Structure 1
Amino acid sequence: MIRVHHLNNSRSQRVLWLLEELGLPYEIVAYARDPKTMLAPDALKRVHPLGKSPLIEDDGRVLAETGLIVDYLVSRYGPHLAPDPSAELHWRYRYWLHYAEGSAMPPLLLKLILNRLGWLGRPARPFVERQLTTHLDYQEAELSADPWFAGPEFTAADVMMSFPLEIAVSRAGLNASRPNLWAFLERIHARPAYRRALEKGGAYAFAR
């Protein structure tokens, strides 16, 4: 059985959701953030040297990084959640699979760090705000033709894009003024598999 090392209020919520979409049995090993530092506990370093979540164990493998975990689970257990490799949409799917962490998350992380720096972070804030606006406008436009990021059908790329957009609500002011993104969040939060993952994963501050 797949074992998920799950940290509260983290990227690992996406892994639980994907496993629910795939209908796979799994075991959760739960970890809580330090209430002062908000960092993961050192116990995770016993599973992987970097001590970060998500991590999964499957068939003797320990896999880290959300993108790799999602790619692995879809390739091995759920190819129906990705366009056929021979289809042009497959490259769009792979683009959004990597864009989520490679491009969407960095300015959101910078915003968090700058906020914690207080006045020391002020000089960099305009640049980061412009980056956030650029990315949200781009994502909004990309959803103008189809309801999902990789085309007309739900895929694992939408699972990957969920976390940056949920974070953007609190850190970048994402709201109903960007109706395509707002509707996307409403659609994913209404999915039965998403709701089941919330029930099993525990409190998750970013679900509406």
Structure 2
Amino acid sequence: MSDLVVHHLGISQSERIVWLCEELELPYTLVRYDRDPATRMAPEAYRALHPIGIAPVVEVDGLMLAESGAIIDYLVMKRGGGRLTLAVDDPGFADWLFWFHFANGTVMPAAMMGIMGSLLGIDGGLMATLSERSTRADALAETHLAKATWFAGESFTTADIMMVFPLTTMRAFAPRDLAAFPNIRAYLARIGERPGYQRAMAACEPGFTPMLA
């Protein structure tokens, strides 16, 4: 058993951490948890792992660490030799920082608020605002990917690992059509060709077809 344990909640952001480990070729032990079939929430065993009670969570170096961005930064800096990041003098440095934080700072909150609004039966102006914010986020990604192979430019980085979940698996909870965004769809096709992504999704989501189109 590796001293790095990734606790993966099915159909959740913790797929990012499994993918990171595969891209960096870090030894890890995967412990998978299924969602409650009725509520689609994490089981009690998962919620008990960390006081915040949500995915992702990893055990590493005597810590129980949560938050996608924090986990990714920790593993890259402590075990990955800084790989999948960019130096401050790299032309793509600002893009790397922006998209890495944009994923959970803007895209995910808009989607989550939309989900909660639907569950609570909220209609009207608020839902229109949330939908419009998600559309603007997709449009921004579409424009950027017209001139860049990856979100940080020509280098695959942790920004891609952060951004792919809200563009793919998150749509299982907040459906949206990407037909109007050919650059995003081409980008996701490139993601789907990466062996690290293929290995990660096969390990953490057996039987689930990645939402790459």
**Fold similarity call, TM over 0.5:** yes
- Structure 1 consecutive aligned stretches of length 4 or more whose deviation exceeds 4 Å: none
User: Structure 2 vs 1, CA of residues 169 and 187 (structure 1 numbering), >3 Å: closer, same or farther?
Assistant: farther
Q: State the secondary structure of the residue aligned to 1:199.
A: helix
Q: Which amino acid aligns with 2:157?
A: T
- 2: CA distance between counterparts of 1:190 and 1:111? 31
Please give the residue correspondences for 1:97-176 in structure 2 after superposition, counting only pairs within 5 Å: 97-118=100-121, 120-166=122-168, 167-168=170-171, 171=174, 173-176=176-179
User: Structure 2 vs 1, CA of residues 41 and 205 (structure 1 numbering), >3 Å: closer, same or farther?
Assistant: farther
The CA deviation at 1:20 is: 0.4
User: Structure 2 vs 1, CA of residues 72 and 197 (structure 1 numbering), >3 Å: closer, same or farther?
Assistant: same
Asked whether the equivalents of residues 108 and 132 of structure 1 are also in contact (C-alpha less than 8 Å), the reply is: yes
Match of 2:211 in 1: 207
Specify every segment of 5 or more residues in structure 1 that has no aligned partner in the other structure, as ranges: none
- 1: CA distance between counterparts of 2:179 and 2:47? 40
The CA deviation at 1:123 is: 4.3
The CA deviation at 1:90 is: 2.3
Asked whether the equivalents of residues 57 and 65 of structure 2 are also in contact (C-alpha less than 8 Å), the reply is: yes
More helix by share: 1
The alignment status of 1:65 with 2:67, answered yes or no, reads yes
The alignment status of 1:81 with 2:81, answered yes or no, reads no
Match of 1:32 in 2: 34
The CA deviation at 1:202 is: 2.6
Q: State the secondary structure of the residue aligned to 1:133.
A: helix
Match of 1:95 in 2: 98
The CA deviation at 1:88 is: 4.5
Identical columns (%): 38
Question: Number of matched residues?
Answer: 207
User: Structure 2 vs 1, CA of residues 9 and 126 (structure 1 numbering), >3 Å: closer, same or farther?
Assistant: same
Q: State the secondary structure of the residue aligned to 2:55.
A: coil
Q: Which amino acid aligns with 2:201?
A: L
Asked whether the equivalents of residues 108 and 172 of structure 1 are also in contact (C-alpha less than 8 Å), the reply is: no
- 1: CA distance between counterparts of 2:116 and 2:47? 23
Q: Which amino acid aligns with 2:35?
A: R
Q: Which amino acid aligns with 2:194?
A: R
Supply the RMSD in Å over aligned alpha carbons. 1.9
Asked whether the equivalents of residues 100 and 161 of structure 1 are also in contact (C-alpha less than 8 Å), the reply is: yes
User: Structure 2 vs 1, CA of residues 170 and 36 (structure 1 numbering), >3 Å: closer, same or farther?
Assistant: closer
Asked whether the equivalents of residues 8 and 33 of structure 1 are also in contact (C-alpha less than 8 Å), the reply is: yes
Deviations 1:23-82 (A, max 9, x none): 111101111111111111121243211221111111112110001111111222332211
The CA deviation at 1:85 is: 3.4
The CA deviation at 1:191 is: 0.9
Q: State the secondary structure of the residue aligned to 1:127.
A: helix
- 2: CA distance between counterparts of 1:47 and 1:76? 22
